[in-house]
Amino acid sequence: MRAPILAGVGLGATYLITMSVIILNGGNHTVGEVMSTLAFIALLIFLGFCAMGLMAPLRGILLITRQEKALDFEFAREMHRLKASGSEYIDEDWFINVTSDRVLALRRDYIKRIEQYQVESRALTHLTFLSTDGKKTKLLGNAVTIQEFHAWYTGIDIEEEPAEEQDASAPLPATA
């Protein structure tokens, strides 16, 4: 939903900037000058989208840094000690899941309590937890990953969690 809006804003901004450049310079531009201006603006927009794409993994890396400071350890040494590698590692103390858009690495003793857990849809889940350093952290993302994290922390299997399905005893809707 956000991508089409961002694309529309980007295209609109490109059009406005291009027209502003042409008008401010008296409109005496060749097609080549206008195209080079458009190429430069497109490059700036592309770099902006790349920067936005780096924000989600960067949040995960900053969360690791917060844990290192709060619990006084080094993530790299901890992973080397545990011989953890790959994009997923789960044990009693660690929940690590790395996807194309998110780095989620949490140590159990960093989490004080889960304050909110809400399955918004089959693809999206929202979870908020309070950490030992007193900061609230919101995780919003892939439902499977967040549900696996919640199950890991609470010790409840995903199959045991209440499903958002219709009650089997309720009457079925009438069909025509």
Instruction: Give the start-to-end residue ranges of the domains of the chain.
Output: 2-160
Residue 31, Cβ neighbours under 10 Å: how many? 7
pLDDT for residue 122: 79
pLDDT for residue 1: 46
Query: Does pTM top 0.85 for this prediction?
Result: no
pLDDT for residue 31: 66
pLDDT for residue 164: 44
Q: Are strands 94-98 and 103-107 parallel, antiparallel or unpaired?
A: antiparallel
Residue 152 C-beta-side C-alpha neighbours within 13 Å: 21
Q: Which residue has the tokens 């709060």?
A: 70
Report which of 82, 76, 108 is spatially closest to residue 95, judged by C-alpha positions. 108
Show the low-confidence residues of the chain (pLDDT under 50): 1, 161-176
Q: Are strands 124-131 and 88-90 parallel, antiparallel or unpaired?
A: unpaired
pLDDT for residue 3: 59
pLDDT for residue 173: 45
pLDDT in tens, 92-133: 999 999 887 788 999 999 999 999 998 888 788 889 999 999
